[in-house]
Amino acid sequence: MNSDIACMSVSYKKNMKNFKEDFIMKLLGKKLLTNVLAVLLVLTILTACATEDTTTDTNTDASDSNSQTNESSSEESTDTSNDETKGGKILFLSSNSSGAVYDFNIAFLDMWTAELGYTYEIVYGDGSNDPAGNLQAVKNAMTNDVVGLIAMQDGGISNILDEYPDLYVAGLATDMGSVYGPEGASASATTNDKFLGTVAGGYASGVDIGKMYFDDVVQKGYKKVAVAMFPGFAYPQYTIADQTFRAEVEEYNKTADEPIEVTGEEGTVLMFRPMDESFFNEPENQDLDAIVGLCAGQQFIYPALVSAIGNGLADPDTKLLTAGFQSDQALIDDVGTGIVQTLYLPNYEEIFFPLAMLDNAIQGKQYPDFEQSEVLDGVYITISSDEIMTNIEENSPIPNADMSKLSVTLEKGKQFLRRYNSDATYAELKEFMLSDAFSEKAYE
Amino acid sequence: MDKGENMENIKVNDSSNFKEFWYNNKVTIISYSGLLFCIILFTIVTPLTGQSIWSPEKLSTLMSDVIVTALMSVGAVFIYSLGNIDISIGKQIGLYSTILVLTGNATGSLLPGILLCILLSIVIAVINGASGPVFKIISIIPSVVVMQILSGIIMIIYSDLGTRSISLKTIDYSFFKSPIVMVVVLVIEIIIAVYFFNFTAIGKYTRAIGANKTTAMQSGISIVKYRIYAYIIAGMGFVLAALFQMGYTGSASDSTGTGYHMNVMIAIILGGMPVSGGMRSRISAAVVGAFTFSILDVGLPLIGLPTRMTFIVKASIFLIVVLLTSRKKYGALPK
């Protein structure tokens, strides 16, 4: 009996052991299979990406959408370009990763790089413009075919130039304060012959910005105005603009029958966060005629103002004069007739400047009259009426990156590229960049 | 017992030994395999696109990408082994970098700045390390408070300066950009950290606290004292990291260090170390994790992957590693 029980016990243990081993092996097998599949998945992604020409698809789209423009220029490009044309990759250090300006830049680069024989790669700059972050972003994206860099951020520009002495660099929509500002961290870039200058997103000088808003306020007859702005340490020109605006108002009030009141000693600083509705609880901000927004006001002021009007905190007639552009239809409809009375929008097409400067430099055909880099003012698209807004919507590439609506067409742009026009000069390019080709008049 | 049964026992024992080895070292093996996989992949694939991960330029880029994260992470292992997370790491790096530039420009030497940073790091370590057990609050709370205070200080400094970034004017910082210097400093830091972590009471007790605080306390370990020691050692790593962060561009900005605490967390988890700390904590996790993440940063663009895609691929790989290394035996929540 005992021996039977012992046998049964041994048999049971053996069965259990076999069962456990089978179970573990199945489990291990499943895990192993899962792991192998995961690795295969990653490998597939990587190899697929490795063989993909990242610019081809987008270029095709752009070419399709602009077939007329491209076709009309292709003959010219064949005739005038020579066999020694250099290609390569242009890095685009972007300060944003979505939105109207991002879509526009991609479409523009798709079209122009295809036409000129380059490829391009978007590199995302440090979210806060940190020099080390920007440098590392460029370093990580650097391959041996990179020939130029368009930078929308100035942090670490001198370090990038030091790291890559043969790389041509030009700025876009930035006044490059760290390069051209007093005691700027990248001041050494000004004398670097690989640095080709920049075009600011609107006026580079805070004085000009301040005067522009003052003129607008006087023209519209506002008598009580508040100023809200991005912090001065990030945008020193806005501090100057605020001071200039107040100085101009003070001067104006000396002879004015009805003086203008500017609330506060200095502009309300928005720390990269939308304005708080409590702004309108301040006694001095009651019954405002307008707010001057030295920032992307549609994004940072408009929502609070709308809400405050809705809650009865702000006067329903309070208006907003500001910069920037949001492609949301409700905001577009408001501009010129609703709360936003004037919208100053740096023209996205100014990306032509860095592209032209890079192309001439890469092809070894620099303008004969180009001596040293500088910061150019950008031309504003001033949207102050429903009619202008409609023109921008219907005739410009700003809201939807439609390259067939470009003001700076391929034909027009090629006049400033020395590979096509050996007589082109830097003075002409500057004149062009400041012309109405970049203002709202270009889209009438 | 016949010969057949002996052979069967030996097989069962071999199988058990393998299973035991796999069970004990699974996380380490997977983490190391991840790094090895990346190295092999980029070694094979990058030449197909006319690039090389092994070119001096790319190795230099790799070192500059990894050095700050690795230096921080090696120090942070002491904090993570306690089962704690320090949110203030990034802002510490930001403040130290700023101090190094300001004092460097004021005195013409980096030494006063380094000493000041060490002093500050000790103060912060005491606050972060002691306030949790002393005030009976969750250990992450003091680091959140410290982070906010440091953010405020940094903002005041740059607002007063009227700029977003400052740079060294007279001091030559090229020393810190040398990949060889980076390697040497990292190796020295690792050796020192391994010594403290594995061969002194500080390392053993911090791991014991992370494994089970109550048991550690009942065994006579002073929780407050060893927490402070751990934070101080980590702080030294942060100062060292700040030195290389500043030395990379010779500058600092109001955003320097932003989000670095996440980089540290990713590196440590990717290296296979449990976030809960304890006896399975190890220095190598920080190094392996930091290198794995950086080699993806450098290698993926070389094989033609658009920059905007690298985030997704990195996140996918991170997810896979976490699923393989940090899952509970029963259930899906991370350890």
The CATH number of residue A241's host domain is: 3.40.50.2300
pLDDT at A11: 58
pLDDT for B19 equals 78
- Do A121 and B307 lie within an 8 Å CB cutoff? yes
Write out the residue range of the structural domain in which residue A190 sits.
Answer: 86-199+348-378+409-435
pLDDT tens digits, one per residue of B265-310: 999 988 888 878 888 899 999 999 999 989 988 888 888 887 778 8
Q: How far apart are CA A348 and CA A439, in angstroms?
A: 11
A24-28, A137-141, A280-284, A399-403, range with the lowest pLDDT: A24-28
Q: Is the pLDDT of residue B331 over 80?
A: no
Q: Which chain A residues have a beta carbon less than 8 Å from that of B12?
A: 17
B43, B164, B176, best to mutate vs chain A, most A CBs in 10 Å = B164
Q: Is residue A31 part of a domain?
A: no
A355 & A422 share domain = yes
User: A127 and B258: CB-CB below 8 Å?
Assistant: yes
Using the 3D structure, point to which of A346, A369, A393 is the last residue of a domain. A346
CA distance B48 to A226: 60
Which pLDDT score is estimated for A50?
Answer: 42
Q: Could you tell me if A170 and A228 lie in one domain? A: no
CA distance A240 to B172: 33
Contact by Cβ (8 Å): B71, B176: no
Cα-based torsion angle of the residue sequence B247, B249, B250, B251 in order, rounded to the nearest 10 degrees: -120
Span A340-371, pLDDT tens digits: 999 999 999 999 999 999 999 999 999 999 99
Determine the angle formed by the axes of helices B56-81 and B283-302, rounding to 10 degrees: 150
What percent of chain A has pLDDT above 70?
A: 81
Which tens digit of pLDDT belongs to each residue from B98-145?
Answer: 999 999 999 999 999 999 999 999 999 999 999 988 888 888 899 999
Question: Is the predicted pLDDT of residue B232 greater than 90, yes or no?
Answer: yes
The pLDDT assigned to A75 comes to: 38
pLDDT at A87 over 80: yes
Domain ranges, ordered by start, for chain B = 54-321
> Is the same domain home to A339 and A358?
no
> Residue A272's pLDDT is what?
83
Q: Is residue B256 pLDDT above 50, yes or no?
A: yes
How close is the nearest chain A Cα to the Cα of B307, in Å? 6
Q: How far is A143 from chain B (nearest CA, A)?
A: 7
- Which stretch of A32-46, A156-170, B112-126, B297-311 has the lowest confidence by average pLDDT? A32-46
Residues 64 through 93 of chain B touching chain A, CB cutoff 8 Å: 64-65
pLDDT of residue A19: 57
pLDDT at B332: 45
Q: What's the rounded mean pLDDT across residues A158-177?
A: 92
Across the interface, of A24, A123, A133, the residue whose CB is closest to B307 is A123
Are A211 and A92 found together in one domain? no
In this complex, do A131 and B253 lie within 8 Å of one another by their Cβ atoms?
yes
Q: How many domains does chain A have?
A: 2
Q: How confident is the model at residue A109 (pLDDT cuts 50, 70, 90)?
A: very high
Torsion of CA B161, B167, B169, B175, to 10 degrees: 150
Q: B241 and chain A: CB distance < 8 Å anywhere?
A: no
> What whole-number distance in Å separates Cα of residue A218 and Cα of residue B116?
53
Tell me how far apart the alpha carbons of residues A373 and A197 are, in angstroms, rounded to a whole number: 4
- Measured in angstroms, the CA of A334 and the nearest CA of chain B are apart by 33
Choose the closest CB to B65 out of A41, A136, A231: A136
Instruction: Please give, rounded to a whole number of angstroms, the shortest distance from the CA of A247 to a CA of chain B.
Output: 20
* Of the options 3.30.70, 2.30.30, 1.10.8, 1.10.3470, the CATH number for the domain spanning B54-321: 1.10.3470
By Cβ distance, the residue of A52, A122, A127 closest to B307 is: A122
In a domain, A28, yes or no: no
- Verify that A336 and A246 share a domain, yes or no: yes
For residue range A239-269, list pLDDT tens digits in order. 999 999 999 999 999 999 999 999 999 999 9
Partners of B308 on chain A (C-beta within 8 Å) are 97, 122, 124
Residue pairs between chains A and B whose CB atoms are closer than 8 Å: 142
Q: Do B251 and A132 touch (CB under 8 A)?
A: yes
Angle between helices B307-325 and A2-51 (to 10 degrees): 170
Per-residue pLDDT tens for A389-422? 999 999 999 989 999 999 999 999 999 999 999 9
Q: Would the pLDDT of A29 be above 80?
A: no
Decide if pLDDT at A49 tops 50: no
A138 and A258 in a common domain: no
Least confident of A1-10, A224-233, B144-153, B225-234: A1-10
Q: Which residue of B has its CA nearest to A186?
A: B167
Q: Is the dihedral of CA A321, A322, A324, A327 positive or negative?
A: negative
The answer to whether position A37 is within a domain reads: no
- What is the pLDDT averaged over residues B64-85? 94
User: How sure is the predictor about A23, in pLDDT bands with cuts at 50, 70 and 90?
Assistant: low
Would the CB atoms of B165 and A129 count as touching at under 8 Å?
yes
- For chain A, counts of helices (H) and of strands (E): 16, 13
The residue among B218, B257, B225 whose CA lies nearest residue B241 is: B257
Binning pLDDT at 50, 70 and 90, where does residue A186 land? Answer: confident
Same domain, A169 and A222: no
B-chain residue closest to A132, CA distance: B249
Clarify whether residues A214 and A328 are in a common domain. yes
Residue A70 has pLDDT above 60, yes or no: no
Average pLDDT, chain B: 88
Instruction: Please tell me the least confidently modeled range out of A118-132, A154-168, B251-265, B301-315.
Output: B301-315
Contacts of B199 (CB under 8 A, 6+ apart): none
In angstroms, the CA A397 to CA A105 distance is: 11
Considering the domain architecture, whether residues A119 and A173 belong to the same structural domain is answered as: yes
Strands A118-124 and B251-253, how do they pair? unpaired
Strand ranges for A125-167 from DSSP E: 146-151
Residue A121, phi then psi, degrees to nearest 5: -140, 130
A337-347 pLDDT, tens digit each: 889 999 999 99
Which chain B residue has the Cα nearest residue A92?
B307
- Give domain status of residue A36, yes or no: no
pLDDT for the residue numbered A55: 39
Task: Say whether both A215 and A336 belong to one domain.
Answer: yes
The reply to whether residue A177 touches residue B163, judged by beta carbons under 8 angstroms, is yes
| Same domain flag for A266 and A315 | yes
